[in-house]
Structures are given as structure tokens and as C-alpha cells.
């Protein structure tokens, strides 16, 4: 279901805060992302009774505790799989997943491409801080080689993955990137993702002052560059070019790609309709549809 069909309410951003106190370290970028989420929900008029917030394990995965909504704190790397099931079971709900680079692209890396290619109707906000923060600082899939951590005291042997290229390649229908130090931009991108019908992915750089000493606030401020206003969001090739890197080694900030395709719940509903609906559900009828 489109967000426009959901019941709307008028709530200020601070009214989406739950009674659970935020426990992130002072200076953590996650605070800025959370504020961006509050702002996006307020501007869209989302009724907390129409929203499910899910996460895996990690600092960022604590986010559902801090938002007024239905919520579920799932297993490490499995938030996407659980959220897919939740969305299919309750397609009239708004579903948002929050997680980190380790949870999403290491332990949960096997689920990300399938959510994208199936076009599951949900939003995935990934807090990219290049480190495992909750477990006290291990090298992650987006860590730079020069970063030292408990698991790589002399630096890492791997090149960091590019989440934007990953999601564009596998078919995500909304792909954007922001920086926690610009919460208004984050709010705008998250708002667009929640409004989009299909799989929306928002990658947000988030500084970890406790365990990642090289990806500082200033590093990210110097790294990001707003995408030109004349960028055509509908052209996949142009989005891929941006994801590969902008001039002078800058990282794109803004909406890279957006397109419309049938969602997984819509396609499954079509199959159910072909076999007479849930009341007359018969697996053999579905098998017969695809027999040569």
C-alpha cells in the first residue's frame, strides 16, 4: 500500500520519541539520523499505529526502541528477512528497517540483494560508520584499509565495498546517500524513501568517535558533495556513474536513483488472484500456472 493511503496524523518530530532514553555515545552520528527519522515521520504525518520498525543487532539497531511504532529487534543480520515477512503479512503497514554496515553487508549480506531484486515494499536506512561499534570496534565491510581496529591492529587487507553500487546493481528502486551531520538532508531522503513504493535504500555516513578515529565528522564533511540539481534520477547508468565516485574523490550526497516497478506483495497478490483467492488456495493450481 502507498503511504498516501495510510491514516495520517499531526505529530511534532519530538512526539515520535518513545519513553526509552537514547544510549548512544556523545558525538555519535546516529543521533543526527534519528532526528532525521523523527522529522521525516512528522512531515509525512505517519500514524505510529501504521508503522513497523525493525532492526538486527548493533548500535544502529537500537533505533526501534527510540521510536513510537510497532517494533521488533531481530537477530544479527536478519532484520531484512523478518521485515520482508512482516510486510507481506501486513501490506497496509509502513515498514522501516534500520541497521549498520556490519549487520547489513556482512552477517546480513546474503539478504540485501534479494530484498532489492524482489522489490520488497519497505525502507532500509543503513547507518554507515565503517566499524562494529556495539562489539567494541571490529573491521567492517565499509572500513578503510588504513583504519586500525581490534581485529586489524595493523590495518585491514580489504578494500571497502560500495553500498550504493551494490544496491543499484541488484535492482533497488530508490537509492540515496546522506551524512548524519546534515540531518535536514537525511530527513528529506528518508521522507522520499518512505513515500516510495518499492525497496528504498538510504545509506547514511555516521561518525563513530569512540572506535573509528579516522572517519571523523570533518572527514565526512569534506567527503560528501551534493548531487547536481540537473541529475536525472530515472537513469540507472547515470546513478551508477555517481556511485562510482564524483570528481576529486567526493562521495555523492542526495538521491541517485528512483524508478517504479511492481512490488513483491503486488506480484504475490496477482498469483493468489489467479488461483481463486485465499479461500480456494491450492498449491497445485499455482504449480499448474508455470508448467510447460
121-161 pLDDT per residue, tens: 999 999 999 999 888 888 999 999 999 888 889 998 999 99
pTM: 0.93
Give dist(CA 83, CA 137) in Å, integer.
27
160 close to 143: Cβ distance less than 8 angstroms: yes
Q: What percent of the chain has pLDDT over 70?
A: 95
Q: Give percent helix, percent strand, percent coil of the chain, each to the nearest 5.
A: 40, 15, 40
> Could you read off the pLDDT of 80-125 as tens digits, one per residue?
999 999 999 999 999 999 999 999 999 999 999 999 999 999 999 9
> Could you read off the pLDDT of 195-251 as tens digits, one per residue?
999 999 999 999 999 999 999 999 999 999 999 999 999 999 999 999 998 878 899
User: What pLDDT band is residue 278 in, cutting at 50, 70 and 90?
Assistant: low
Torsions phi, psi for 62 (to 5 deg): -80, -10
* Spans of all domains in the chain: 3-260, 262-292
The bridge status of strand 174-179 relative to strand 251-258 is antiparallel
- Torsion, Cα 121 124 125 127, to 10 degrees, reads 180
In sequence order, the β-bridge partners of residue 204 are 127, 178
Q: Once rounded to an integer, what is the mean pLDDT over residues 58-67?
A: 97
Half-sphere exposure of 141 (CA within 13 A, CB side): 17
Give dist(CA 283, CA 272) in Å, integer.
10
Q: Once rounded to an integer, what is the mean pLDDT over residues 51-55?
A: 97
Give dist(CA 152, CA 158) in Å, integer.
11
User: What pLDDT band is residue 6 in, cutting at 50, 70 and 90?
Assistant: confident
> Could you read off the pLDDT of 166-201 as tens digits, one per residue?
999 999 999 999 999 999 999 999 999 999 999 999
Q: What is the pLDDT of residue 149?
A: 85
Q: What is the pLDDT of residue 2?
A: 67
Q: What is the pLDDT of residue 285?
A: 67
Set of cell numbers at residue 52: 513497523
The distance from CA 272 to its chain's CA centroid, rounded to whole angstroms, is 29
Q: What is the pLDDT of residue 186?
A: 97
219 close to 119: Cβ distance less than 8 angstroms: no
Please check the confidence at residue 264 and state whether its pLDDT lies above 90.
yes
CATH classification code of 3-260: 3.40.50.970
More reliable by pLDDT, 265 or 292: 265
80 close to 97: Cβ distance less than 8 angstroms: yes
In sequence order, the β-bridge partners of residue 254 are 177
Give dist(CA 50, CA 46) in Å, integer.
7
115 close to 124: Cβ distance less than 8 angstroms: yes
Please check the confidence at residue 8 and state whether its pLDDT lies above 60.
yes
Amino acid at each position: 500500500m502507498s503511504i498516501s493511503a495510510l491514516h495520517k496524523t499531526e505529530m511534532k518530530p519530538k512526539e515520535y520519541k518513545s519513553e526509552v532514553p537514547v544510549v548512544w555515545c556523545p558525538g555519535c552520528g546516529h543521533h543526527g539520523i534519528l532526528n532525521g527519522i523523527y522529522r521525516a515521520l512528522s512531515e509525512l504525518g505517519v500514524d505510529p499505529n501504521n508503522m513497523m520498525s525493525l532492526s538486527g543487532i548493533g548500535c544502529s539497531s537500537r533505533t526501534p526502541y527510540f521510536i513510537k511504532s510497532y517494533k521488533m529487534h531481530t537477530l544479527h543480520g536478519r532484520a531484512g528477512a523478518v521485515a520482508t515477512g512482516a510486510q507481506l503479512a501486513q501490506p497496509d503497514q509502513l515498514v522501516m528497517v534500520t541497521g549498520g554496515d556490519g549487520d547489513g553487508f556482512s552477517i546480513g549480506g546474503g539478504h540485501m540483494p534479494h530484498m532489492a531484486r524482489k522489490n520488497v515494499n519497505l525502507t532500509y536506512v543503513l547507518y554507515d560508520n565503517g566499524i562494529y561499534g556495539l562489539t567494541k570496534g571490529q573491521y567492517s565491510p565499509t572500513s578503510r584499509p588504513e583504519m586500525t581496529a581490534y581485529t586489524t591492529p595493523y590495518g585491514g587487507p580489504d578494500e571497502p565495498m560500495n553500498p550504493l553500487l551494490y544496491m543499484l546493481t541488484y535492482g533497488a528502486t530508490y537509492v540515496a546517500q546522506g551524512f548524519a551531520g546534515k540531518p535536514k538532508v537525511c530527513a528529506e531522503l528518508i521522507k522520499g524513501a518512505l513515500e516510495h513504493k518499492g525497496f528504498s535504500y538510504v545509506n547514511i555516513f555516521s561518525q563513530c568517535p569512540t572506535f573509528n578515529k579516522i572517519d571523523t565528522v570533518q572527514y565526512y564533511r569534506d567527503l560528501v558533495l551534493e548531487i547536481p540539481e540537473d541529475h536525472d534520477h530515472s537513469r540507472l547508468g547515470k546513478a551508477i556513474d555517481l556511485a562510482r565516485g564524483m570528481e576529486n574523490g567526493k562521495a555523492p550526497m542526495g538521491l541517485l536513483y528512483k524508478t517504479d516497478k511492481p512490488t513483491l506483495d503486488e506480484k504475490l497478490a496477482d498469483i493468489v488472484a489467479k488461483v481463486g483467492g485465499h479461500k480456494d488456495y491450492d498449491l497445485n493450481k499455482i504449480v499448474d500456472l508455470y508448467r510447460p
